[in-house]
Amino acid sequence: MAEAVATSSHETASDAPVPGTTHSKNVPWYTEELPKIPEETRKLLEEYSHIPPDEVEKHVIDIRERAWVVHPYPCIGGYRFLELSLSHNPAWPRILSLLKPPSPSASSSPPLLLDLGCCFGQDIRSLIRAGIPPSHLKGAELEAAFVDLGYELFRDKATLGVEFLTGDVLSDSSFSSLYGKVSIVHAAAFLHLWPWDGQVDVATRIVRLLRDEVGVMVVGRQVGSIKPHEKMHETNRSRGMYKHDPVTFERMWEEVGSKTGTKWEVRATLDEVGTGGMDGKGERGKWAGDPR
């Protein structure tokens, strides 16, 4: 059986790729001014990365500008990578409990969290600062350049100790080595990149990654709507995207369960937030799913 806790945000911009990968900054999802850096993120940069306080803002702007050249995603243009969204997920305490080091006498393999579509790996660094061993974490990202920029953002390439995989989640060969080995999948601003059928396909592939045991989890956030619908988004005319409310999100996981022989209990919430950059709380929509 699975349980899911979800919060989707009602927004106007998506993290879908921009057609032709235009790098124009004259688009609604590019924020000229750096917003206030959330306090927890600033502490991470100052205390974990040892960046002098008076250099943090310049450092963040430099990384954002270089990332925009790689690919102009709205999460880059709006500085959303500064949100440590996983730590605001209702499942955060349980995630920390599941990932904590096992006792020396434990015979089972250690727990593993995969951050799928991890961007710069900001949530991975947040987990490490919370005391989770690097060996219990892996990242996965389509754009290898984002992984490298993450090392530069946090200045920890020589010390991080986390393996990052690069590849397409829709490719059977990209993550087959992890099939049946993952305890928790974190997928933030990810599923909404596809229409309904595409989300079912991706979620089915996510289930393959999970261990066949009670208590494995899927957590994240995505764009939602008070009126669920599929639309062709202005930042990606090549395919549609489906925006859920809690009811349709649960229905989708019922379909995933039927295809995978699993049962999911879904808990979802829908939050309305601002349309540009970060909202005032440094939060976006969150959801979490956990089969048992």
> How long, in residues, is the chain?
292
Q: Helix-strand-coil percent breakdown of the chain, rounded to 5? A: 35, 20, 45
The tokens describing 225, both together, are 């709507």
Q: From first to last of its 292 residues, what are the pLDDT tens digits of the chain? A: 444 444 344 333 344 444 445 678 888 888 999 999 999 999 999 999 999 999 999 999 999 999 999 988 888 999 999 999 999 999 999 999 999 876 555 557 889 999 999 999 999 999 999 999 999 999 999 999 999 999 999 999 999 999 999 988 877 677 888 999 999 999 998 888 888 899 999 999 999 999 998 889 999 988 887 887 877 655 556 678 888 888 999 999 999 999 999 988 888 888 876 544 444 343 333 445 444 3
Q: How many helices (H) and strands (E) does the chain have?
A: 8, 10
pTM: 0.85
**Contact indicator for 11, 275 with CB cutoff of 8 Å:** yes
Per-residue pLDDT tens digits for 202-254: 999 999 999 998 889 999 988 887 887 877 655 556 678 888 888 999 999 99
- pLDDT tens digit string along 143-175? 999 999 999 999 999 999 999 999 888 776 778
